[in-house]
Amino acid sequence: MNTLIIVESPYKVPTIKSYLGKGYKVTACNGHVRDLPKSKLGVDIENDFAPDYINIRGKGDLIKALRKEAKGADRIFLATDPDREGEAIAWHLSSVLGNDSKKIKRITFNEVTKSALKEAVSHPRDIDIKLVDAQQARRILDRLVGYKISPFLWKKIKSGLSAGRVQSVATRIVVEREREIREFVPKEYWTISAKLSGDDTFVAKYYGDKDGKKDINNEAEASAILSQCEGKTFVVEGVKKALKRRKPMPPFTTSTLQQEANRRLNFQSRRTMMVAQELYEGINLGEAGMHGLITYMRTDSLRISDDATAAAKAFILSKYGDKYYPSTPNVFKSKKNSQDAHEAIRPTDPTRTPDSVKGKLSNDQFKLYKLIWERFIASQMCPAEFDTMICDIACGEHIFRAGGYVVRFAGYMSVYDDRTEDSDAEDGLSAASLPLLTEGQLLKLIKMLSEQHFTQPPPRYTEGTLTKILEEKGIGRPSTFLPTITTITGRGYVKRNGKVLVPTEIGEITTDLLMDNFPSIIDYNYTADMEEDLERICRGEIPYVDVLKDFYVDFAKQLSAADETLAEGRITIAPTETDIICEKCGCKMVERVGKFGKFAGCPNYPTCKNTKPLDGGTTEEPKTASEHKCPKCGKPMYLRKGMYGSFFACEDYPNCKGTLTFRKDTGINCPKCGKMLVVKQTKTKKTFYSCEDYPKCDFSSWDIPQERKCPSCGGLVLKKKNKEQYECYKKCGWSESK
């Protein structure tokens, strides 16, 4: 029987082919093939919000190819991603392929492994229309919000802005945190500690007086305590010893993976999810073949399959021994509103340790796989055990406290140590043992220490902490966290300042406008409740049209009111003032953005046209330095643009006429000889690529070399100019369209 399997990503194709063998043809649809049109609303509000789906522009050739493959197949398995977005893609595929329910079936798998695929093809099912309806409801809601509200922003603020059901709420979160920081008033406080000596020296921190007062608000209060303790006797008043157990953290969900990768690896969310996608779709492990190394990476579930639990148990027992595995397997409870359709993120095979595959992975792939593998293995191990001791030490009416711990049994921490300075501080313990102290023991004061502090404002959000707060508030799903952050930064509502996210002036103005005119759209509870309604649609508890109707009743009223309120006037965004003084007219210059980046301009423009570079920007076309030396005078050469394309010219050009033909290294090795591929231009400004040793090495191409390798044969991948079409230079038969 001839079976056609259609997946979303072309990178899965070689892995799946290697597992299924003859009788199976595997191809990719590259995501959605149909969607709402961009040129109009595409939703018939008067006719139960009927969507007007069209084939996505640029997907015509792909759809023809899929139809051709489908005609020659006895059965078709739609193996798009195992979530409601994937279910909708499968539904659209079924539509363009003829909606033959007897021939077209749906299969899903949580990991790209041989056993998972064999299980999936053995149990095909019909498309779950409830999941499709939930995706349609989300898509239509987002279209209504975006296409109905955005024109108000264009009229009131500036063109190009957009509103979104989730992105606007995420922007509000960042804006409100920034305003908390601005309004924050620091408060003074002091800390006191005593360096004491028993059998050994240690430090005890001031804990309060015997009336329960702990806060020290100013220097006078601190000085009073110091004077009352200086030269006095310190007595051990109480000693508490305990065995503390610390349980392992659960395996990763999408949200926690993004947070931890941001904290530990300094990965932005996009980088994390891109690398996770590669690990999920399959890695060429050489003689071992193609293997998906992790399970599906868009999930909010903490569930682990019985097979995975058993595999982890076997690995832990063989690697670490009986005492590292609990008497009963660790089970973690997912949050109330989690979909639980997929497992937590875990390695597909625990025996495939990070070190065993390190040579086959890129640096990023290795770091992320190691993080996922260690977290999963640790989650199945015994708790860590600590011997703790907390001592209360009295000096007159004042109490000092010292706490310490030593690790008795590392347990899961032998694989994954999740302790932080903050977690130890919360426990009031330090990672060191105290000297042996007994109740009633007298201690010698060596030195009293005091230090002034001021309370700090709440920290700005990073991508990781913003993802965490979105999840906690029930805003969005695992699949939407990354697109949401990408959207609000890409459209200028929020900017990155190092690792933290800061709202722009446009972000703040837009948030205020939406708060005043569309309060429900930007309300936290309303947005979270809408996510719950989408889940109810998934469960078949409510028709999706009813959700849209309920939403639009209030939304239409807000649109009508905004039409009157925002009819006149435009919000003017004042340019940001700098500390740079214009030497021509004495005014403070303002920040501008031009063709070549940021620059400082005089506010009296056009009367005064003085400008200065700012933050790496320039008001003139930047000159790009090169490694070349002028063949005539030996001075450095710069890349310039001329009538017939780019060329290298002496820094003293045109006084010195020394020039070289433009050549730019690509950073990619020639597939024939291993030397560098370079970019060159013809006299008619056409760009082409060739070996730096050309014509001795005859490799050249009009197509653009790519850093990635052909997933079929490992050859150099070339991209067609002006097309999202990729193929192997060896013409091995592999190609890809995006």
Q: Which of 314, 324, 444, 330 is nearest to 380 (CA)?
A: 330
Q: Which of 611, 645, 651 is nearest to 629 (CA)?
A: 651
| Strands, sheet with 700-701, edge to edge from the N-terminal-most edge strand | 664-669, 676-681, 687-691, 700-701
Tokens of 464: 């990781």
How would you class 681 by CB atoms within 10 Å of its CB: exposed for 0-12, middle for 13-18, buried for 19 or more? middle
* Segment (H or E) for 7: strand 3-7
Q: Which of 253, 289, 375 is nearest to 112 (CA)?
A: 289
Tokens of 632: 């005539």
Residue 507 in contact with residue 162, Cβ under 8 Å?
Answer: no
Residue 92 in contact with residue 120, Cβ under 8 Å?
Answer: no
Which residue numbers are catalytic?
296
What type of residue is 344? A
Sign of CA dihedral 73, 76, 81, 86: positive
Tokens of 441: 């023991």
Q: Render 336-354 in DSSP notation, one character per residue.
A: TT---SSPPB-BS-TTS-H
Q: Which of 107, 32, 172, 131 is nearest to 477 (CA)?
A: 131
Residue 190 in contact with residue 451, Cβ under 8 Å?
Answer: yes
How would you class 306 by CB atoms within 10 Å of its CB: exposed for 0-12, middle for 13-18, buried for 19 or more? exposed
* Segment (H or E) for 611: strand 611-613
Residue 538 in contact with residue 606, Cβ under 8 Å?
Answer: no
Q: Which of 261, 323, 322, 325 is nearest to 297 (CA)?
A: 261
Q: Which of 687, 634, 635 is nearest to 661 (CA)?
A: 687
Q: Render 568-607 in DSSP notation, one character per residue.
A: S-----PPPEEEEEPTTT-PEEEEEEETTEEEEE-TTTTT
d(CA 511, CA 52): 31
d(CA 532, CA 552): 17
Q: Render 268-303 in DSSP notation, one character per residue.
A: -HHHHHHHHHHHHH-EE-GGG-EE--BB-S------
Residue 101 in contact with residue 80, Cβ under 8 Å?
Answer: no
- Using DSSP's 3-state secondary structure scheme, residue 227 falls into helix
Taking the CA atoms of the chain, what radius of gyration do you get in angstroms? 32
d(CA 411, CA 381): 7
